[in-house]
């Protein structure tokens, strides 16, 4: 599995100029990010940056009492360490692996050496703007919307950063990220499960009806998604937010749970013949997707 994972599966990296991609790909190291691993500590100098493939990293702020709150989430659409890379300053946030998976890691100096490439610099600046928007909308959502709406937004944000419809995270973790009581998340998740929108069992969440999840969500999710597409699409980045309905077939198992059973997405993709998959890929390339 690991041999078939390419760094171009990260959408932001895929938007870099080909010459930069070639140079940087030789400096990148494929790593498995275990859940609850801390990639960056607050107020510490940045040493490496990460291009997630199927991992989700949460930028969180930890208060003196030990409680934490989500600031933004980063997955296959982006880069962990973009803001300190651009500013040269350390962050007050912690980078925590929220969902296990693979990422490509490289020394920050390797990426800094490519800053002479104007396209990359402008793309990174636009990407940082999307992170700032995500952080501000998260604060608005946590202040003005119900726990159910916050949960729907959070699940959709995570779902957009995975190649399947399965998430592995506990209600306690979700409650910590949203800054609410666990009982509130339990009640909201139970309601969604009763309606057939999700299936939850012992830390494993499967989204059954994404459309219903979007309908029950507040406007915050769509604002972030729309603005991310607007800011990054002109730079050549594709599908930086929103679901990847044509996720790479190289990920043979559900990358969230790493179990022997495959998720619903991969069950469907495995039923397709190689000829159908080739035809679909050719159609996507012709359409410029």
Annotated domain spans of the chain: 2-287
pLDDT of residue 120 exceeding 90: no
pLDDT digits (tens, 9 = 90+) for 248-282: 333 333 433 433 334 443 444 444 444 334 344 44
Contacts of residue 187, Cβ cutoff 8 Å, sequence gap at least 6 = 147
For residue 23, give the H/E element and its range.
helix 18-25
Share of the chain above pLDDT 70, in %: 79
131: tokens are 């992170």
Report the 10 Å Cβ neighbour count for 137. 19
Per-residue pLDDT band at 114 (split at 50, 70, 90): confident
pLDDT of residue 188 exceeding 60: yes
pTM score of the predicted model: 0.78
- Using DSSP, state whether 52 is helix, strand or coil: strand
pLDDT of residue 236 exceeding 70: no
Q: What is the mean pLDDT of residues 25-47?
A: 92
Per-residue pLDDT band at 235 (split at 50, 70, 90): low
The CATH superfamily holding the domain 2-287 is Jelly Rolls (2.60.120.10)
Share of the chain above pLDDT 90, in %: 45
pLDDT of residue 240 exceeding 60: no
What is the pLDDT at residue 274? 41
Provide DSSP, 217-251.
S-HHHHHHHHHHHHHHGGGT--SSSS--TT--TT-
Per-residue pLDDT band at 117 (split at 50, 70, 90): low
Closest CA to 7 of 119, 127, 105: 105
pLDDT digits (tens, 9 = 90+) for 43-80: 888 899 999 999 999 999 888 777 778 889 999 999 99
Query: Distance from CA of residue 107 to its chain's centroid?
Result: 21
What is the pLDDT at residue 122? 87
- Given a contact cutoff of 8 angstroms between Cβ atoms, the answer to whether 56 and 75 are in contact is yes
């Amino acid at each position: 599995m690991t041999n078939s994972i390419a760094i171009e599966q990260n959408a932001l990296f895929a938007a870099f100029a080909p010459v930069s991609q070639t140079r940087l790909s030789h400096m990148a190291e494929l790593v498995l990010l275990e859940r609850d691993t801390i990639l960056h500590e607050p107020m510490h100098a940045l040493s490496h940056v990460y291009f997630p493939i199927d991992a989700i990293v949460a930028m969180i702020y930890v208060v003196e009492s030990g409680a934490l709150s989500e600031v933004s989430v980063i997955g296959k659409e982006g880069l962990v360490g973009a803001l300190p890379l651009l500013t040269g300053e350390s962050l007050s946030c912690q980078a925590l692996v929220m969902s296990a998976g693979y990422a490509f890691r490289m020394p920050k100096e390797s990426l800094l050496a490519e800053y002479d490439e104007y396209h990359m610099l402008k793309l990174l600046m636009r990407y940082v703007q999307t992170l700032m928007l995500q952080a501000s909308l998260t604060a608005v959502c946590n202040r003005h919307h119900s726990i159910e709406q916050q949960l729907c937004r959070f699940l959709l944000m995570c779902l957009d950063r995975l190649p399947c419809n399965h998430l592995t995270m506990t209600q306690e973790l979700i409650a910590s990220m949203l800054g609410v009581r666990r009982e509130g998340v339990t009640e909201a998740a139970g309601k969604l499960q009763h309606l057939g929108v999700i299936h939850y069992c012992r830390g494993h969440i499967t989204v059954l009806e994404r459309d219903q999840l979007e309908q029950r969500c507040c406007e915050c999710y769509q604002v972030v998604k729309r603005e991310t597409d607007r800011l990054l699409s002109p730079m050549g980045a594709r599908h930086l937010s929103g679901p990847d309905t044509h996720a790479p077939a190289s990920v043979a198992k559900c990358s969230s749970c790493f179990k022997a059973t495959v998720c619903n997405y991969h069950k469907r993709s495995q039923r397709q013949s190689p000829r159908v998959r080739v035809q679909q890929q050719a159609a996507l390339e012709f359409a410029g997707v």
